[in-house]
């Protein structure tokens, strides 16, 4: 996926998100580390005021397949009770991490939780999850670049490529 294709899709997602989330305080939460580049570009494309925060999670370690065990490595700094939350993920494959995060956020009583994923890999789903905004659907291949990594490498690429 080229850098131009990614930029074009993000430019379209921003106004959709602004129109789709009810008025009120918006807090955009990026899932570290993979979503940080996507989130930086996405928040600039959303034409409304917002706050930003981050959740650090780990489920892959240095592997190319999720362990299925989600570990919070860094929690939110901001309260989200009564606020509209946009959770920003780099990729959703099994859905296990997203389900875990959605449950954690719901327990904090936000007004709403919406999810935006740069990439969705529906062929790998183990649990059903709600994706409100999706950049691209991808086949069952291990992808890197634009924030996505393999053992903490390749995040810096301006495009998304397949690991051979």
Contact 123, 140 (CB under 8 A): yes
What pLDDT score does 79 carry?
95
Q: What is the DSSP string of the chain?
A: --HHHHHHHHHHHHHHHHHHS-SS-EEEEEEETTTHHHHHHHHHHS-S--EEEEEEEES-TTSSS--S--EEEE--SS--TTSEEEEEEEEESSSHHHHHHHHHHHTT--SEEEEEEEEE-GGG-SS----SEEEEE--SS-EEBTTB-BTTBSTT-SS-EE--
Answer yes or no: is 41 within a domain.
yes
More confident residue, 63 or 91: 91
In a domain, 13, yes or no: yes
Report, as an integer, the average pLDDT of 30-56.
97
Is residue 126 in some structural domain? yes
Asked whether residue 65 is assigned to any structural domain, the reply reads yes
Q: Is the pLDDT of residue 49 over 80?
A: yes
Res 2 pLDDT > 70: yes
State mean pLDDT over 66-94.
Answer: 90
Our answer to whether residue 93 is catalytic in this structure is: yes
Instruction: Name the domain count of the chain.
Output: 1
For residue 146, being part of any structural domain is answered with yes
pTM of the predicted model over 0.85: yes
Q: Is the dihedral of CA 8, 10, 11, 12 positive or negative?
A: positive
How far, in Å, CA of 27 to CA of 111, rounded? 11
Q: 96 is in which domain, residue-wise?
A: 3-154
Within-domain flag for 91: yes
> Which residue in 93, 103, 140, 149 is the catalytic one?
93
> pLDDT tens digit string along 7-35?
999 999 999 999 999 999 999 999 999 99
pLDDT in tens, 135-163: 999 999 999 999 999 999 999 999 999 98
Q: Is 162 inside any structural domain?
A: no
CATH number at residue 27: 3.40.50.2020
* Rounded CA separation 116/92 (Å): 10
159 is a domain residue: no
Chain segment 66-76, per-residue pLDDT in tens: 556 788 999 99
């Amino acid at each position: 996926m080229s850098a131009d294709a990614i930029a074009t899709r993000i430019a379209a997602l921003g106004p959709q998100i602004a129109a789709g989330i009810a008025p009120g305080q918006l807090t955009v939460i990026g899932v570290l580390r993979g979503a940080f580049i996507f989130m930086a570009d996405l928040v600039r494309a959303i034409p409304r005021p917002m706050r930003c925060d981050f959740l650090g999670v780990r489920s892959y370690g240095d592997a190319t397949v999720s362990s299925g065990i989600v570990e919070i490595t860094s929690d939110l700094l901001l309260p989200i009770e009564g606020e509209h939350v946009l959770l920003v993920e780099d990729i959703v494959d099994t859905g296990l991490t997203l389900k875990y995060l959605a449950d954690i956020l719901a327990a904090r009583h936000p007004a709403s939780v919406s999810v935006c994923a740069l990439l969705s890999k529906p062929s790998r789903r183990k649990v059903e999850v709600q994706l409100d905004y999706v950049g691209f659907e991808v086949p069952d291949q291990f992808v890197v670049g634009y924030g996505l990594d393999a053992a903490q490498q390749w995040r810096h690429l301006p495009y998304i490529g397949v690991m051979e």
